[in-house]
């Protein structure tokens, strides 16, 4: 274990927050808890939530100003969407699958696995509170019944039993068969032409190395996506190489295992290095502070745009984590690729290494080591 106490001049923001620190808000049918910039001030561009839906439990019909990215961790869910042209979409997602609900597009989610569903949500605004959504129950319960009657062309008695306030999550009957509901949703207007879900559980890894794999899910393979995501699996001891993302902040969710994450904030000559337990992330800020922190399943990590970082699996089982970016296309810059494709003389002089070393750097982007 290494530990150097922080110099008085350090201004290191927390870039980790465990979901386990937050008590869930419980409903009959499920629960939710969220990490916004209130809890994790560095996370200005992405807010996240964990949501549990019992079998039959429904996250009610709603929409929000932000786009929503979802990743199923456990179980199975049925999602519904209606696009801006009134075309319906219904599909089922399993563990490892993804969805994207664009900003303002209404949707619902229902747990349908034998034990419901458990998933994470990401929103492209760090201040977004998942409780600040526009829900069907909230709107109709605050609209005069004669207006509802006029709107739908029915007697106002139709609305005698509507909810008196926001519902959020409720226990529902299991849905009808998928094909039936898809046909129902497609009546008159046709079915929504774009898929709002992506079977990322079935895709082949984008990157396969001896040390692990990466699946990249973004607009290149999931056309509706407002987000880019990487699902990273690192074998024990493997390293997600030193890199940064030039186009977006990175929101991380640790699904399984332990990691050491190094995040470079860099103040010259000062390294703040925590290594307690077996997982680390390190992040590089560029003004002389490096902070290295342990992560485990259920933790959220955050790396602002272009800050250098690496993730090492310091546990004894595979580490699985999500990197989520509030941008449609995935981009990263590898330190090794940078050094490998810059003339070796200037690199060796700059780094005080040797041209032999520089020439030996893999010309192909490693992404994960061992290669």
Q: Which residues are catalytic?
A: 323
d(CA 144, CA 135) in angstroms, rounded, equals 16
**Residues 174 to 233 in contact with Mn ion, rule: CB under 5 A:** none
| Residues paired with 342 in a beta bridge | none
Minimum separation from the CB atom of position 98 to Mn ion (A):
14
220 Cβ partners below 8 Å, 6+ apart?
A: 329, 330
Q: Which is nearer to Mn ion, 151 or 220 (CB)?
A: 220
d(CA 300, CA 277) in angstroms, rounded, equals 17
Transcribe 123-192 into DSSP letters.
Answer: ES-TT--TTS-EEHHHHHTTS-HHHHHHHHTS-GGGGTTS-SS---EEE-PPPPPHHHHHHHHTTTT-B-
Stretch of 60-68, 86-94, 185-193, 220-228 contacting Mn ion, by CB under 5 A: 60-68
198 Cβ partners below 8 Å, 6+ apart?
A: 97, 98, 99, 100, 217, 221, 222, 225
d(CA 272, CA 327) in angstroms, rounded, equals 30
Q: Are 272 and 290 in contact (CB under 8 A)?
A: yes
Pick the closest to residue 323 from 241, 243, 247, 230 (CA basis).
230
Minimum separation from the CB atom of position 347 to Mn ion (A):
23
Minimum separation from the CB atom of position 125 to Mn ion (A):
13
Stretch of 66-74, 201-209, 258-266, 288-296 contacting Mn ion, by CB under 5 A: 66-74
Q: Are 289 and 10 in contact (CB under 8 A)?
A: yes
Minimum separation from the CB atom of position 245 to Mn ion (A):
6
Stretch of 61-69, 84-92, 145-153, 287-295 contacting Mn ion, by CB under 5 A: 61-69
Stretch of 62-70, 154-162, 202-210, 358-366 contacting Mn ion, by CB under 5 A: 62-70
Instruction: Please work out the total of residues on this chain that contact Mn ion, with binding judged by CB under 5 A.
Output: 2
d(CA 324, CA 200) in angstroms, rounded, equals 14
Q: Which is nearer to Mn ion, 218 or 250 (CB)?
A: 250
d(CA 43, CA 34) in angstroms, rounded, equals 12
Comparing every residue's Cβ against Mn ion, the nearest one is 68
Minimum separation from the CB atom of position 68 to Mn ion (A):
4
Tokens of 266: 């860099």
| Residues paired with 47 in a beta bridge | 123
Phi, psi of 273 (to 5 degrees): -130, 115
Pick the closest to residue 281 from 38, 75, 17 (CA basis).
17
d(CA 321, CA 299) in angstroms, rounded, equals 10
Q: Which is nearer to Mn ion, 200 or 334 (CB)?
A: 334
Binding mask 231-250 for Mn ion (x = CB under 5 A): -------------------x
Minimum separation from the CB atom of position 58 to Mn ion (A):
12
Check residue 352 and report its DSSP letter.
T
Residue of the chain from 54, 66, 68, 312 that contacts Mn ion (CB under 5 A): 68
Q: Which is nearer to Mn ion, 19 or 196 (CB)?
A: 196
Using only the alpha carbons of the chain, give its radius of gyration.
23
Minimum separation from the CB atom of position 14 to Mn ion (A):
18
Binding mask 16-55 for Mn ion (x = CB under 5 A): ----------------------------------------
Binding mask 244-283 for Mn ion (x = CB under 5 A): ------x---------------------------------
Q: Which is nearer to Mn ion, 36 or 344 (CB)?
A: 36
Minimum separation from the CB atom of position 285 to Mn ion (A):
14
Q: Which is nearer to Mn ion, 262 or 344 (CB)?
A: 262
Q: Which is nearer to Mn ion, 68 or 100 (CB)?
A: 68
Q: Which is nearer to Mn ion, 34 or 344 (CB)?
A: 34
Q: Site residues (CB under 5 A) for Mn ion?
A: 68, 250
């Amino acid at each position: 274990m290494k530990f150097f106490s922080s110099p008085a001049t350090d201004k290191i923001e927390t870039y980790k927050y465990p979901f386990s620190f937050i008590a869930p808000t419980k409903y009959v049918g499920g629960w939710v808890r969220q990490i916004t910039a209130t809890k994790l001030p560095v996370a200005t561009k992405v807010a996240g939530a964990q949501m549990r839906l019992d079998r039959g439990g429904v996250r009610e019909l709603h929409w929000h100003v932000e786009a929503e990215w979802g990743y199923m961790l456990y179980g199975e869910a049925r999602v519904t969407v209606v696009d801006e042209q009134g075309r319906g979409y219904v599909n089922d997602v399993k563990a490892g699958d993804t969805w994207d609900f664009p900003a303002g597009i209404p949707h619902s989610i229902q747990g349908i696995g034998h034990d419901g569903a458990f998933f994470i949500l990401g929103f492209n605004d760090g201040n977004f509170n998942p409780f600040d959504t526009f829900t069907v129950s909230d709107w109709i319960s605050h609209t005069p019944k004669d207006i509802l009657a006029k709107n739908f062309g029915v007697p106002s008695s139709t609305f005698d039993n509507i909810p008196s306030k926001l519902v959020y999550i409720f226990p529902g009957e299991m849905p009808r068969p998928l094909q039936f509901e898809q046909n129902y949703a497609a009546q008159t207007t046709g079915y929504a032409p774009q898929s709002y879900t992506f079977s990322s559980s079935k895709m082949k890894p984008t990157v396969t190395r001896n040390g692990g794999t990466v699946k990249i899910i973004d607009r290149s393979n999931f056309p509706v996506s407002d987000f880019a995501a990487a699902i990273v699996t690192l074998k024990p001891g493997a390293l997600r190489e030193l890199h940064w993302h030039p186009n977006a902040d990175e929101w991380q969710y640790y699904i399984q295992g332990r990691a050491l994450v190094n995040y470079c904030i860099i103040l010259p000559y000062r390294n703040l290095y925590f290594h307690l337990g077996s997982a680390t992330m390190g992040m590089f800020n560029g003004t002389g502070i490096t902070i290295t922190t342990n992560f485990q399943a259920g933790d959220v990590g955050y790396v602002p745009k272009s800050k250098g970082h690496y993730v090492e699996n310091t546990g004894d089982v595979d580490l699985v984590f999500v990197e989520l970016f509030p941008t449609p296309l995935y981009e990263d810059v590898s330190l090794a690729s940078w050094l490998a494709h810059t003339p070796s003389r200037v690199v060796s002089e700059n780094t005080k290494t040797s041209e032999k070393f520089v020439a030996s750097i893999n010309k192909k982007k490693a992404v994960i080591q061992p290669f």
